[in-house]
Amino acid sequence: MDREVPLLFQLYSKLRNSVPWIPLLTNIPTPIEKLENLEKKYGMSPSGGVYIKRDDINHGLYGGNKLRKFEFIFGKLLEEKKKGVITFGGIGTNHGLACAIVARQLNLHCDLFLAYQPLTWHVQRSLLLYDYFGAHIHYAKSYTAIALKALFFRLIHPKYYFMLPGGSTLLGRGSPNGTLGFINAAIEIEEQIKQKVFPEPEVIFIPCGSGGSAAGLIAGCKLLNLKTRVYAVEVSNPPFSSEESIIQNSNKALKYLRKRDKTIPQITINKEDFTYVKDYLGSDYGIKTRKGQTAIDLVMQLEGKERGFKLETTYSGKAMAALLDYIGNNENKEKNILFWDTYNSADLDRYLKETHFYYKKLPRQLHQFYEKKHFQCWQYKNCPQKEECSAYLNHDYRCWKVKQCTELERNKCSVYTKLDDAIILEDT
Ligand SMILES: Cc1ncc(COP(=O)(O)O)c(C=O)c1O
């Protein structure tokens, strides 16, 4: 496919000169794979199927849903001749990490304004990686405090682009450019349907954090008259994640496009156009749920290990849990279902190793996140041989999973129960 311009501009040519865009993705279109082991396990009918959209490998360094949005957001930022970017998230934000990586690639400054989220191994890793990729970290406990800090920072740094959480609009404010990345992604799957890579799916499952990814797919599917219905799985709290935020995101993006190309059909998105799936979030953003973890472990064992993708507990694990409940229902065995993999699967452990886990390099306020709680066997034991251990700095937080310990070995292990207690899984 022609990556000189995105598919969106090939379909609506007037957008070519009126919508900013830069190429960032290096592996487009992303493959669609059939998850046959999972289908078997769930007794899917031969006319139905479960597929995965491998957005996790859309970029060599950091795949996932972010860079699809960033092609349009950073396009705008460069057009406006900004020198840096300010953005927000929780202390484990993947969005912030992707932003740091892309800013470094484009020689821009990156300042991340981070609020508290439940402490996990993922958070400990991420904070070190933001720093590794050159971002400056600003921390406050609440989103209100962090927003005020960021606004003040922006006031004295007018040459910085202000990107809202997840690169989406928030309460109808902010630019819809990120959402365009997922309208473009809908065109990509339409192409794959035309090329018979897979049948037109009845359903797509995708996590809904700030809603931009789901919103773009919903708008794209309606624009293209696909019969596909998007199931947006709630993984964050309102106002970031909600039915309303999806509707606002989609409609703002569609309006933005139509203003620039009048040949685009005049459609609007409302509640009837998609399904907003609740009950998988847990009590808060970033909480690990039992259902999410079970879904991750099952899919990793059946498919992920062999294919090289991984799911995580904040977003994609919860969306997968919702998908598994859906295909567990006899009414859905004949449907074609697409799981949109929004999480990076490129190896970040090697960069983490280069940090030597030296958290004291980070701003002092963040040291508490390393000193209060341990998630890893080698942290707990202050292990002198850690560098030789396969679990050292591994993305998984359960050394017995990395080392594939038997139940007997686990029960004999002096830290197993202590570590297991540190990882609290919530029943939803
Ligand atoms: C892995 C993953 N999936 C999904 C999302 C949510 O995407 P959106 O903010 O577009 O709803 C995020 C956001 O950070 C993410 O990191």
Question: Residue 339: pLDDT band by 50, 70, 90 thresholds?
Answer: very high
CA nearest to 101, candidates 134, 137, 139:
134
Q: Which of 128, 144, 167 is the last residue of a domain?
A: 167
| 252 in the same domain as 133 | no
Q: Which of 135, 167, 199 is the last residue of a domain?
A: 167
| 157 in the same domain as 90 | yes
| 329 in the same domain as 215 | yes
Residue owning the nearest CA to atom 7 of ligand 1:
209
Q: Is residue 183 part of a domain?
A: yes
| 210 in the same domain as 96 | no
| 187 in the same domain as 240 | yes
Per the document, the length of the chain is: 428
Percentage of the chain lying above the pLDDT 90 cut: 90
Enter the tokens of residue 34.
């059939």
Residues 219 and 248 sit within 8 Å (Cβ to Cβ): no
pLDDT in tens, 91-120: 999 999 999 999 999 999 999 999 999 999
Unique residue bearing structure tokens 């459609």: 267
| 332 in the same domain as 206 | yes
Q: Is 208 in the pocket of ligand 1 (CB under 6 A)?
A: yes
Distance, CA of 139 to CA of 365 (rounded, Å) = 7
266, burial (CB in 10 Å: exposed 0-12, middle 13-18, buried 19+): exposed
pLDDT in tens, 212-269: 999 999 999 999 999 999 999 999 999 999 999 999 999 999 999 999 999 999 999 9
Helices (DSSP H) in 66-105: which residue ranges? 66-79, 94-105
| 77 in the same domain as 53 | no
Q: What phi and psi values does residue 237 have, to the nearest 5 degrees?
A: -95, 160
Measured from the CA of 312, which atom of ligand 1 is nearest? Answer: 1
| 123 in the same domain as 100 | yes
Domain count of the fold of the chain: 3
Q: Is residue 387 part of a domain?
A: yes
Distance, CA of 96 to CA of 55 (rounded, Å) = 18
**Sequence-distant contacts of 424-428: CB under 8 A, at least 24 apart:** 424/288, 425/288, 425/289, 425/290, 425/293, 426/282, 426/283, 426/287, 426/288, 426/289, 426/290, 427/289, 427/290, 427/291, 428/279, 428/280, 428/281, 428/282, 428/289, 428/290, 428/291
Q: Is residue 363 part of a domain?
A: no
Question: In this predicted structure, what is the pLDDT of residue 80?
Answer: 98
Q: Is residue 348 part of a domain?
A: no
Does the predicted model carry a pTM greater than 0.85? yes
pLDDT in tens, 373-403: 888 999 988 899 999 999 999 998 899 989 9
What is the arithmetic mean of pLDDT over 172-180? 96
| 193 in the same domain as 299 | yes
Q: Which of 314, 340, 366 is the last residue of a domain?
A: 340
Question: Residue 372: pLDDT band by 50, 70, 90 thresholds?
Answer: confident
Measured from the CA of 93, which atom of ligand 1 is nearest? Answer: 14
| 248 in the same domain as 298 | yes
Question: In this predicted structure, what is the pLDDT of residue 423?
Answer: 75
> What is the CATH number for 293?
3.40.50.1100
| 202 in the same domain as 134 | no
Q: Is residue 356 part of a domain?
A: no
Distance, CA of 342 to CA of 106 (rounded, Å) = 23
Q: Is residue 357 part of a domain?
A: no
Q: State which residues form the domain around 404.
A: 374-422
Q: Is residue 242 part of a domain?
A: yes
pLDDT in tens, 293-311: 999 999 999 999 999 999 9
DSSP result, 298-309: HHIIIIIHHHT-
The answer to which of 50-59, 114-123, 267-276, 416-425 has the lowest mean pLDDT is 416-425
Distance, CA of 235 to CA of 322 (rounded, Å) = 11
Residues 286 and 240 sit within 8 Å (Cβ to Cβ): no
Q: Is residue 250 part of a domain?
A: yes
Ligand 1 centroid to 413 CA: how many Å? 36
| 132 in the same domain as 17 | no
Question: Residue 419: pLDDT band by 50, 70, 90 thresholds?
Answer: confident
CA nearest to 35, candidates 330, 233, 309:
309
Best residue among 62, 249, 315, 348 to mutate for probing ligand 1's pocket (most ligand atoms within 8 Å of CB) is: 315
